[in-house]
Amino acid sequence: MTSEEIIKIGLWVIASLGGAGGIILGFSNFFGGLFAKRYEEKVKAKFQKEIDMYQSQLDVIKERTLRYSSTQFDFYSKLWSSLYDLKVLGDDLWQEASPIRLEKFSKQLKTTRAEIEKSSLFIEDEHYRELMEILLHFSEYQIGKKSLIEYRKENGFDDYSTEQMIRQNGGEKQRYENLIKRIRIDLKRQLKGKDT
């Protein structure tokens, strides 16, 4: 059967049914559209429910991330402040190795160490390692300055031995200054949200 024959048969059926065929055709279009609309609404509702569920999950993740980032920012700010105070006191101790300046430096070293440990949950592992390394250099600087003060107290200003101690302390000071510069760059990257 060709398509022309099918069309002729279809027209003959409609013509033989007359007005009833038109009414049946109209009802079938109406009910077909109604069922299609209900199905479309059902599918839309299902997808909207899924979208709402995913949006809710994203909101929870976003809130958690923002809370963590805010806390991390606070800890990095406190750490940098404590580290900077330690550097300033280290510079003062470099200018004049006195018991009073050594005591101030030692107290700040202890405070900075405590700040790093308190923050360790929120700071990046690489930064934690760098900060622990810098504390090691600050501690060695502290020991060197303490030895210099004690040596001067007992032996006066023996030029050769004093100069050796000052050179050694200068090396530790240079190491912690270099580390502070590197950490400063890393912390700025972290606070801006860039990968380190």
16-25, 94-103, 173-182: range with lowest mean pLDDT: 16-25
- Separation in Å, CA 21 to CA 8, 28, 31, 129: 15, 10, 15, 85
Given a cut of 60, whether residue 195 has pLDDT beyond it is: no
pLDDT in tens, 7-43: 666 666 666 655 555 666 565 666 667 677 888 888 8
How much is the pLDDT for 194? 52
Q: Give the angle 126-132-173 at the CA atoms, nearest 5°.
A: 115
CATH (residue range 69-192): 1.20.120.1730
Task: Write the DSSP string, 46-71.
Answer: HHHHHHHHHHHHHHHHHHHHHHHHHH
11-20, 114-123, 148-157: range with lowest mean pLDDT: 11-20
Q: Closest Cα to residue 72, out of 24, 121, 37, 140?
A: 121
Task: Report domain extents, the chain.
Answer: 69-192
Provide the pLDDT confidence category of residue 110 given band limits of 50, 70 and 90: very high
How much is the pLDDT for 123? 78
